[in-house]
């Protein structure tokens, strides 16, 4: 399975780096892609050099897209037609879509949350058009995975590992990382 993690200016660093780190520790093929060429600066001033740019990237090779939250990162993802199209294409092809913090608003804008349960950072529930907002750290409804916020980044990423590689792989990684509160 190939996973795409798009990075937009103003992304939440804890979420993006935790997701990429944990998935790569589980030997999952992850590609980070910026909306524009070059380094991307997060909402707390940390710059990251992505693996590639989104322009020209063949989306058909990915079966999961994971959107980190943060502001204005989530708004920047939502405003980008290539991201909305990537979410739709991966979802319509039978892949999974995931978003944490404010980024579930992107899934709603792409039209994939209709009739689904989803969680998000408090205050963004009204933007989850067509979804039932729930108050959970991580919510899985079919091929839609959503997380509440930065403090939920490790459980969110471990849930992605569980979905991709199974519960034993997630448990092994949880133990290796010394995660005891979940």
Residues identified as active-site: 101
Please state, in angstroms and rounded to a whole number, the distance separating the CA atoms of residues 131 and 83.
20
CB atoms within 10 A of CB 120: 31
- If you write DSSP's letter for every residue of 108-173 in order, what string do you get? HHHT--TT-EE--STT-GGGSTTSEE---SEEEETTEEEE--GGGHHHHHHHHHHHHH-HHHHHHH
Angle between helices 153-165 and 13-25 (to 10 degrees): 30
In order of 23, 49, 58, the CA distances from 16 in angstroms are: 11, 12, 21
In order of 37, 52, 61, 148, the CA distances from 48 in angstroms are: 12, 11, 23, 23
Closest C-alpha among 21, 10, 8 to residue 154: 21
Whether omega for the bond prior to residue 100 falls within 30 degrees of 0, making it cis, is no
């Amino acid at each position: 399975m190939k996973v795409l993690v798009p990075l937009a200016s103003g992304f939440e660093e804890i979420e993006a780096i935790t997701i990429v780190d944990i998935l790569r520790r589980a030997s999952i093929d992850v590609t980070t892609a910026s909306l524009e060429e070059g380094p991307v600066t997060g909402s707390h001033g940390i710059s990251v050099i992505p693996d590639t740019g989104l322009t020209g990237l063949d989306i058909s090779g990915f079966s999961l897209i994971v959107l980190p939250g943060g502001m204005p990162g989530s708004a920047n993802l939502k405003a980008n037609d290539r991201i909305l199209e990537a979410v739709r294409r991966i979802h319509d092809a039978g892949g999974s879509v995931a978003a944490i913090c404010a980024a579930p608003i992107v899934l709603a804008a792409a039209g994939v949350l209709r009739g689904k349960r989803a969680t998000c950072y408090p205050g963004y529930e009204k933007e989850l058009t067509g979804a039932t907002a729930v108050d959970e750290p991580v919510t899985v409804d079919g091929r839609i995975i959503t997380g509440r916020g930065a403090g939920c980044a490790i459980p969110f990423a471990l849930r992605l590992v569980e979905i991709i590689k199974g519960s034993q792989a997630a448990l092994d990684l949880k133990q290796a990382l010394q995660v005891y509160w979940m």
